[in-house]
Structure formats: C-alpha cells, structure tokens
C-alpha cells in the first residue's frame, strides 16, 4: 500500500520590512514640515473681555499681535504690576511700535502688505489710555486695520 506523505506545517510568510524604515522617515518628515510651533511666549496675563458679536479671523498669517496686560507672576518682580506692551517676545514702549510694524510688513510679500491686520489682545482690566496710545501710534505708521481679540459672552 502506498503511504501518504504527511503535509508539513506551513507558516504564513512575514511581510517584507525593508521599506518600513522609509515609510517611518517619510511620516516623520511630513509632520516636521507641516507642524507649526508657537512663535511667541506670552509674558503678560491677558483675560480677554467679553463680546457679543465675534467674527473669526480668515488669515492668521497676515496678522500681527500686540499683547497688553500685567506681566506674568515670575516677571512681576522685574517689570512691576503695571500694564505692559508685549511685541513678539519682549516688552516694548509705545514708541517702538513703528519699528515692529515696519519689520512685520517687510516680512510679508508685496501683495499681502495691504491686507495686514493688527490684533490687539488687551486684558479686560487694562486702562484704556494705553490702548488709545497704541492705536494712535498705529495710525501714525498707517496700520489702519485693527482688530480687538475677545471671547464670546456666555449667554
């Protein structure tokens, strides 16, 4: 009589892992290119005032931010408790706003300069005199598109 051969145990072949490292590096490169990091560190405390009508900003890349408020706790010993103006990562005076706006305009393309918007993020307890001084300085350097940042009222 003939004997049947016993079938060997077959295993499922492993998928090739040679290109796995290429895929991982492509994903890593993709996320490194598309991720944006926070550009500035907030050195002032800003509790935004409430507003009933809020419009979302369309192009944030054309917006320059001016923060106005009291310095954060670890900087109060150095700068005091009065409201300060923060442009990018440093405290500035009202007179230095012109240089800030000029630098921001120079960083933009020629076509986008007319669409530049200045966003004022002022603490709700900030004196209006400081905000008025900032607005007057913005007028002098022809930055006429001004937006106030606010939070939606909880109604």
* Per-residue pLDDT of the chain in tens (155 residues, 90 and over written 9): 566 666 677 788 887 777 888 889 999 999 998 887 767 788 999 999 999 888 888 888 899 999 999 999 999 999 999 999 999 889 999 999 999 999 999 999 999 999 999 999 999 999 999 999 999 999 999 999 999 999 988 76
d(CA 35, CA 48): 27
Instruction: Say what the pLDDT of residue 61 is.
Output: 87
Domain-located, residue 37: no
Domain-located, residue 103: yes
DSSP code for 66:
E
d(CA 130, CA 83): 8
How many domains would you assign to the chain?
1
pTM above 0.95, yes or no: no
CATH number, domain with residue 73: 3.30.420.270
Instruction: Say what the pLDDT of residue 60 is.
Output: 87
Domain-located, residue 112: yes
Strand 63-71 to 146-148 pairing: unpaired
Instruction: Say what the pLDDT of residue 18 is.
Output: 79
Domain-located, residue 66: yes
Domain-located, residue 81: yes
Report the candidate in 15, 35, 14, 33 with the shortest Cα–Cα distance to residue 25: 33
Report the candidate in 50, 58, 56, 82 with the shortest Cα–Cα distance to residue 68: 82
Range of the domain at 110: 44-49+59-152
Contact between residue 41 and residue 89 where contact means Cβ atoms under 8 Å apart: yes
Q: Map tokens 């900087």 to a residue.
A: 75
Domain-located, residue 76: yes
Domain-located, residue 85: yes
Instruction: Say what the pLDDT of residue 134 is.
Output: 97
Instruction: Say what the pLDDT of residue 4 is.
Output: 67
Instruction: Say what the pLDDT of residue 25 is.
Output: 92
Contact between residue 101 and residue 118 where contact means Cβ atoms under 8 Å apart: yes
């Amino acid at each position: 009589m003939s004997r049947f051969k016993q079938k060997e145990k077959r295993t499922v072949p492993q998928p090739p892992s040679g290109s796995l490292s290429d895929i991982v590096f492509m994903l890593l490169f993709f996320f490194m290119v598309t991720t944006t990091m926070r550009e500035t560190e907030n050195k002032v405390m800003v509790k935004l005032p409430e507003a009933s009508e809020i419009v979302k900003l369309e192009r944030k890349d054309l917006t320059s931010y001016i923060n106005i408020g009291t310095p954060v706790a670890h900087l109060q010993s150095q700068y005091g408790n009065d409201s300060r103006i923060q442009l990018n990562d440093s405290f500035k005076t009202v007179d230095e706003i012109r240089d800030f706006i000029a630098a921001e305009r120079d960083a933009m393309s020629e076509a986008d300069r007319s669409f530049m918007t200045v966003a004022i993020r002022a603490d709700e307890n900030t004196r209006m005199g400081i905000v008025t001084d900032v607005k007057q300085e913005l007028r002098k350097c022809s930055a006429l598109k001004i937006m106030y940042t606010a939070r939606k009222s909880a109604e």
